[in-house]
Amino acid sequence: MLADPMDDDGSHTAPADIADVDDIALLTAAWMNERAAPALLPFQHGPLARLREMIAVQEETLDSMESEDVTDADFIRSVCLLELDRVKFVIQAYLRTRLHKAEQKTMAILDSTDSRMCLSDAELAYAERFNDIVNESYQQAFLLDSLPPSLQSLNDPEIIGSLDLQKAVFVRVQKDIGDLLLPNGDTIDMAKGKMYLLRYNLVKDMLAIDLLNPLESSEKRSHKLKRLVQSPNSFFMDVKCSGCFQITTVFSHAQTVVICGGCATVLSQPTGGRARLTEGSSYRRKQN
């Protein structure tokens, strides 16, 4: 619960909830996933940007409340400050978790193209600078210059290491996914609410999906009731008759034969799903 702007009558009211509660929930889930996953997950650019903007606006609102004589203003302000601290804690914990992972496997992350793409610009700059400092420390501490040239490089695969993608992790399914094929040929039902203990590499691609910004291609393949925003597959379209060129509005999944009102030419025929247009006819999808 954060502060609302001042009402028209000059008073402040404590809101029941905040508009960006989904971003907070998403970032909290991303933080928990980061703590459990052995590899870096994609950086949550959208939620972080929106939450930072929201915090800036709320802090301005709270500052304006200090100079106003409003009933219960101190109480409202204290509650809103507590909630601001909670949001800031989630942001800091998420970022610190990612930086800690980057510090533990810096060379392996920088050596992997996929891992580098999961870093934000600031995190990438931090990791590269941290790696440079570590390399300089090794040079000074172990006098690498005095070793044979073949032993001076820190880019040896045994030194760089690799991310443990075979690590076992607990997985709680947030939405119905279907069957998941296991290495031994068996399948498990990835139904919403179920929990499994699986190797990370079996589910890492699922964690890489931004649930608030899904790919358009994946949304089209999803059932209309399981999309981020439920939407029908059907639509209305303007169909131009190939005979008289008259335009008729036709439903994409029409269950009856549609005839042109100008020349009685059949425009579409039902198929049980999407209607089939008569050859030679052209159409344009109507915009909402």
Contacts for 88-93: CB closer than 8 Å, 24+ residues apart: 88/55, 90/24, 90/27, 90/28, 90/31, 91/27, 91/48, 91/51, 91/52, 93/31
Residue whose pair of structure tokens reads 């994609």 in the numeric block? 42
- If pLDDT is split at 50, 70 and 90, which confidence band does 7 have? very low
**What pLDDT score does 21 carry?**
46
Q: Report helix, strand or coil for 266.
A: strand
- The predicted structure's pLDDT at residue 158: 55
| Strongest mean pLDDT among 135-149, 180-194, 195-209, 225-239 | 180-194
DSSP element (H, E) containing 284: strand 282-285
Kindly report the average pLDDT of the chain as a whole number.
Answer: 77
Distance CA 203, CA 165 (A): 10
Query: pTM of the predicted model, to two decimals?
Result: 0.56
**Token output for 215:** 């790919």
DSSP string, 230-259: ---S--EEEEE-TTT--EEEEETT-SS-EE
Distance from C-alpha of 41 to C-alpha of 77, rounded to nearest angstrom: 36
Q: Is the dihedral of CA 11, 13, 19, 24 positive or negative?
A: positive
Buried residues in 208-221 as b, exposed as e (16+ CB within 10 A): eeeeeeeeeeeeee
172 in Cβ contact with 195 (< 8 Å): yes
What order of strands is seen across the sheet that includes strand 258-259? 258-259, 266-269, 276-277
Helix (H, G, I), strand (E, B) or coil at 124: helix
Structure tokens given for 66 = 């200090």
Q: Is the pLDDT of residue 18 over 80?
A: no
The 10s digit of each residue's pLDDT in 166-217 is 888 888 887 777 888 888 888 888 888 888 888 888 887 777 655 545 556 5
Confidence class for position 149, pLDDT limits 50, 70, 90: low
Q: Are 152 and 74 in contact (CB under 8 A)?
A: no
